[in-house]
Chains A and B, each alone.
Chain A
Amino acid sequence: MPALAQSGASSGTIRGTVRDFDGRGMEGVIVSARASRETWTTSVYTDRQGNYSFPSLSPGQYSMWAQFKGYDLAKVADLNLADSSRLTHDLTLRPLADQRVIANQLAGPDWFAALPESNDQDRRMKHLLRNNCSFCHPVSFTLSHRFDARGWAILIDMMPQWTFWPNLNYRNPDEPKTPMWQAYKEEFAEYLGRVTPDLQPRPLPQTRGAATGAVIIEYDVPRQGRPPAVHNGTYWTEGQPTDWESKGARDIWIDDKGIVWTSDDQSMGRTLGRLDPRTGKWTDYAMPDDKGVAFATHGVTGDPKTGLVYQGTLPPGDPSILIFDPKTEEFVSYLRPKSIPIGGAFLSVDSQSNVWATAFGPGGGVQKLDPKTGTYTFYPVPYPDDVPEFNQNQYGMVVDSLDNVWVARPGAETVGYLEPKTGKTGNVRFERLVMPGLTEKDRTVSASMTTGPTTGPPNGRGPRRLASGGNYVYVALMKSDEVAQIDIRTKQVKTFPLPKGSAAYAVRVDKNGNVWVAANNADSFYKLDPRTGQVTDFQLPTRGTDLRDVTVDNTTSPPTVWGAYSRSNKIVRLQERPAGTQQAAAK
């Protein structure tokens, strides 16, 4: 909780009931409040009777608003919350009639559900869309553009000319066009040109039941040299935010002092971002290159034993591991020896305080850095013999509770495995989805073109990022909307379905054994209970979140879940409250 719960400062609260025009209480409405002098927004859900109640809020001048898909925004300005006061404010929501405005409010799974799939061809295209477009743009953003086939073909031709990494030339006409996009270009253009002009997405069910007890706090993330974002997904009827205005923080880690650290691949002057959630204060730390430009970073993690923060840098230059010492507030770096392959974007720390990272390039493997001695060790982890070199690419990795290492291989549909102590290696191979109607082109493309983190045929599973929890490793399967659970001793695998079209991106396990999922098509945190397979959907107060990472603070009870909105440029914190909190407050 910002400020109050920890400082014991004075506080008040706001509560009330949200009803529809017929006077019925509405469940799952997100009610948000923001003090004029603060840099964060606090949100709660209404319960089954329509009751909402905020936790302690600092005294001040508040604006408050309520949002529910399919209903117009209800907003209240200038609520004066005095010290120790308890304001009651009821709201009525008016249903929206304009389908285009409703569409603006919707998240990826709502849009995905509206895509036709009544025949094999449409089903293929729906999966191709998720597998080739989602990992740069949430599907809600893509589909809010309603072009004809000619328009979509222009965009598909144009996209490869925008280089992916920052710090490189913006528009590169010599960049080879992505072969898989080109192979499917005509089919994409025909399909999107046919379905998007009249697509009418409808709201899927919103947050319900015990989940409505949760409290969500979203912190604005500033950017040097840029005006503050205005259209940042806060008000849903305004539609999806864009890279132009509000792209920023990427991965996230919280240290044992409650400080939040983020990596950043977009913002000027920032290699590492620091948020103090108690005050909302933001600090940028830059490691400048020889032109004075801050290095871009992808992964971030840390070691509670040493207090060090680790990041993985991105091009230009070879990706590598970067160390930051919060005590001295300085970067510390070891220059990777030439005999060690490049790597570092994805990181994990073992029980001996070694930091591990994904290695890049064909062949596959992971690298270990002992920060005490500066010694790097590269461990090759071979792919199965039948995986062609062009499909040898790696993504997320994790060290499990036995100090063995797992690394995702999206192109090979496998997760690589290493036992550093014995030298044993292996691969968990995922079966492709059984999908009627695959074409000869799908088979040709699969056999001849690179499948990777951002491309793939219709029937892949796409392991992306991993997490460790007790006896298991969990894997986000981005192309099949699943989470896989691997038993680290028996190597037995189970899979759990998530909402369709959500595109599971990253996972993290809390101290209660629940798996929290960041899905970059969905403006939600999902909580998976692997004992029952039950998935709880915590829909978030912001649109176009493009969540790509999640972390958990296990020092609180219940655990606190943190994420970075990479597109809407906010840091989010979610904590559950016992069911019935709102009703108790209403009495």
Chain B
Amino acid sequence: MKKRFLAALAALLAGSMSVSIAAQFQEGPPTKPVVAKAQWTPVKTVKVDVPVTQGVRSDTPVFRGEGLFQQHCSVCHLGRFDKSGQVQPVVNLAGVLKDASPDREAAVRMQIQRGSINMPSFQHTFTPREVEALIAYLKTR
């Protein structure tokens, strides 16, 4: 009885470490290869040594806000980069809070808080401190 218990315990421990059988092999029909000779096609190569540089960091709300903007807003408001260069964003926010009136700033804060028909509400995403950083950054765009 004790041996059986120990064997079961050993099997249990082994199972918890690793192994189970979860698949089986099934033979298929033989393959029918297709052979063809390719054409030689010389292609152009462009070589560029790219310098590696570091970005500039700071301990300001603007710097933190830029990071938040990239993390949460870039998909619609910064477009993206691809092989051909920068693709324009759906809604470009350049200048949105540059020298903006208090009413305009309040409207932008409301939009971030509540969202719109095409934009999610960010009220649960951003803390009050993060909203202030984001606004500080938007004022520089």
Residues in chain A within 8 A of chain B (CB atoms): 39, 100, 144-148, 150-152, 154-155, 158, 162, 166-167, 170-171, 196-198, 219-231, 238-245, 266-269, 280-288, 291, 293-296, 329-337, 339-340, 365, 369, 373-382, 384, 417-418, 422-431, 461, 482, 484, 486, 491-497, 530, 532-534
Contact = CB atoms under 8 A, between A and B. Distances in A.
Residue among B42, B44, B88 facing the most chain A CB atoms (10 A cut-off): B44
A220 B82 contact: no
Contacts of A495: 19-23
Nearest to A385: B28
Contacts of A384: 26, 28
A427 B26 contact: yes
Which 10 pairs from chain A and chain B are nearest by CB?
Answer: A533-B18, A151-B120, A491-B25, A230-B55, A337-B36, A244-B74, A197-B124, A334-B38, A533-B17, A146-B124
A429 B34 contact: no
Contact of A238 (B21, B23, B67, B88): B67
Given A150-B120, A373-B37, 17 more contacts: A145-B72, A146-B124, A152-B120, A170-B88, A222-B51, A228-B55, A240-B71, A245-B70, A333-B42, A335-B40, A340-B36, A376-B35, A381-B28, A382-B28, A382-B29, A426-B27, A430-B22
Give chain B's interface residue range (CB within 8 Å of chain A): 35 or more
Given A100-B127, A428-B25, A418 B67 contact: no
Contact of A220 (B32, B43, B54, B122): B54
Contact of A293 (B64, B84, B88, B122): B84
Interface in B87-118: 87-88, 90, 115, 118
Given A151-B120, A533-B18, A222 B50 contact: yes
Contacts of A225: 81, 85
Interface of B: 17-57, 63-64, 66-67, 70-72, 74-76, 78-85, 87-88, 90, 115, 118-122, 124-125, 127
B20 A170 contact: no
A442 B33 CA distance: 37
A534 to B, nearest CB: 7
B93 to A, nearest CB: 13
A491 B79 CA distance: 48
Contacts of A288: 44, 46
B52 A39 contact: yes
Contacts, number: 277
A337 B37 CA distance: 7
Contacts of A294: 46, 83
Nearest to A483: B18
Contacts of B80: 170, 243-244
Contacts of A484: 22-23
A287 B34 contact: no
B45 A331 contact: yes
Contact of B26 (A329, A330, A426): A426
A374 B52 contact: no
A334 B40 contact: yes
A285 B45 contact: yes
Contacts of B49: 281-284
A340 B6 CA distance: 58
Contacts of A340: 34, 36
Nearest to A422: B30
A513 to B, nearest CB: 14
A286 B48 CA distance: 8
A286 B84 CA distance: 12
Residue among B34, B88, B118, B127 facing the most chain A CB atoms (10 A cut-off): B34
B41 A333 contact: yes
Residue among B51, B54, B56, B72 facing the most chain A CB atoms (10 A cut-off): B54
Contact of A335 (B35, B39, B51, B122): B39
A244 B46 contact: no
24 contacts: A144-B125, A158-B76, A170-B79, A220-B54, A221-B52, A230-B56, A231-B66, A268-B81, A281-B49, A281-B52, A284-B49, A285-B47, A291-B84, A294-B46, A329-B45, A337-B38, A374-B39, A376-B35, A376-B37, A428-B25, A486-B23, A491-B25, A533-B17, A533-B18
Contact of A375 (B35, B51, B54): B35
A76 to B, nearest CB: 15
Contacts of A423: 30-33
B85 to A, nearest CB: 6
Contacts of B74: 242-245
Contact of A381 (B31, B45, B71): B31
A350 B84 CA distance: 35
B24 A380 contact: no
A62 to B, nearest CB: 14
A228 B31 contact: no
Given A376-B38, A379-B31, A494 B18 contact: yes
B38 A369 contact: yes
B64 to A, nearest CB: 8
